[in-house]
């Protein structure tokens, strides 16, 4: 079963931009430990974990709860974790008009825990680092903040 990356924006964000950025600070805005509840699209069993989302504002700031809503919107349907990570990143780039986005998801897949490998300790990590987050200083700062 082949799926294309859905590049639509979440409809539940009426007005995600809360303010124009008034300064030129290049400080990251990070929302940590966003709950991820989804279902594996192959086995239809739960995928449960956390997401950390960050961006560096260029012109716009987004309401903090909107970051959670974006994660929840894309996680509400059966998913591959890799696609979920990319959909969140793409959505943030479009809404905030910036390439400076980081998304990190760590989740337990019940298909791994209860089927096949039967490994209850393993977790799956996916990430998207773009723009300034590909530079060592920003990437390291992001990873220090989410640990």
Would residue 72 show up in a list of annotated catalytic residues for this protein? no
Letter string b/e over residues 103-112, b meaning 16 or more CB atoms within 10 A of that residue's CB: bbbbbbbbbb
Would residue 43 show up in a list of annotated catalytic residues for this protein? yes
In 3D space, the residue among 91, 70, 68, 69 whose CA is nearest the CA of residue 7 turns out to be 91
Would residue 42 show up in a list of annotated catalytic residues for this protein? yes
- 31, 52, 79, 81: the active-site residue: 81
- 28, 72, 99, 111: the active-site residue: 111
- 31, 86, 109, 128: the active-site residue: 109
Would residue 137 show up in a list of annotated catalytic residues for this protein? no
Would residue 111 show up in a list of annotated catalytic residues for this protein? yes
- 41, 82, 99, 106: the active-site residue: 41
- 21, 28, 43, 72: the active-site residue: 43
Would residue 87 show up in a list of annotated catalytic residues for this protein? no
- 26, 35, 37, 42: the active-site residue: 42
DSSP per position, 32-95: EEEEEEEEBTTT--EEEEEEEEEE--SSEEE-HHHHHHHHHHHHTS-B-HHHHHHHHHHHHHHH
Active site residue ranges: 40-43, 81, 109, 111
């Amino acid at each position: 079963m082949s799926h294309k990356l859905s590049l639509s924006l979440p409809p539940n964000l009426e007005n995600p931009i809360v303010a124009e950025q008034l300064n030129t600070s290049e400080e990251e805005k990070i929302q940590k430990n966003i709950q991820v509840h989804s279902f594996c699209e192959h086995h239809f069993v739960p995928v449960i974990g956390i997401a950390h989302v960050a961006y560096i504002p260029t012109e716009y700031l987004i309401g903090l709860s909107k970051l959670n809503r974006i994660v929840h919107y894309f996680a509400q349907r059966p998913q591959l974790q890799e696609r979920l990570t990319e959909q969140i990143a793409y959505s943030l780039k479009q809404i905030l008009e910036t390439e400076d986005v980081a998304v990190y998801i760590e989740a337990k897949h019940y298909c791994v825990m209860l089927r096949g490998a039967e490994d209850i300790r393993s977790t799956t990590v996916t990430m998207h680092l773009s723009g300034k987050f590909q530079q060592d200083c920003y990437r390291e700062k992001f990873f220090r903040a989410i640990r």
